[in-house]
Amino acid sequence: MAVSIFDLGLSVEANSLFLLIEGMLGSKIDPVKNCKAVATDITYAACLEKWSGEENDFLVAMKELIDAGVLAEEDSFFKVLATDNWKKK
């Protein structure tokens, strides 16, 4: 996880969405330790399905992450950009 996400001054919802996306990407999945999790494509529908808050909060958080240069949308998929693209508020 890129802990520098917490240095950007983003909302709690945006930080939560970033953590959800990081989990869906499976960057910490370790098959050697018997982890059965599978990495998931990051789409609007996949994220919203796992989001426990209101859809409007999700949309605001997604826009905040995109505006901060943390996420980019490409062919209906979202990807996490390199930390040197991230912008503080």
CA R_g for the chain: 13
Count how many domains the chain has. Answer: 1
Please state, in angstroms and rounded to a whole number, the distance separating the CA atoms of residues 25 and 36: 14
What digits encode the pLDDT tens for the residues 13-64? 999 999 999 888 875 556 666 566 666 788 999 999 999 999 999 999 999 9
* Within a domain: 47: yes
Q: Which of 11, 14, 12 is nearest to 70 (CA)?
A: 14
* Within a domain: 29: yes
* Within a domain: 4: no
Domain of 64, CATH number, reads: 1.10.10
H-only helix segments in the chain: 12-25, 44-50, 55-67
DSSP count for the chain of H helices, then E strands: 3, 2
What digits encode the pLDDT tens for the residues 65-76? 999 999 999 888
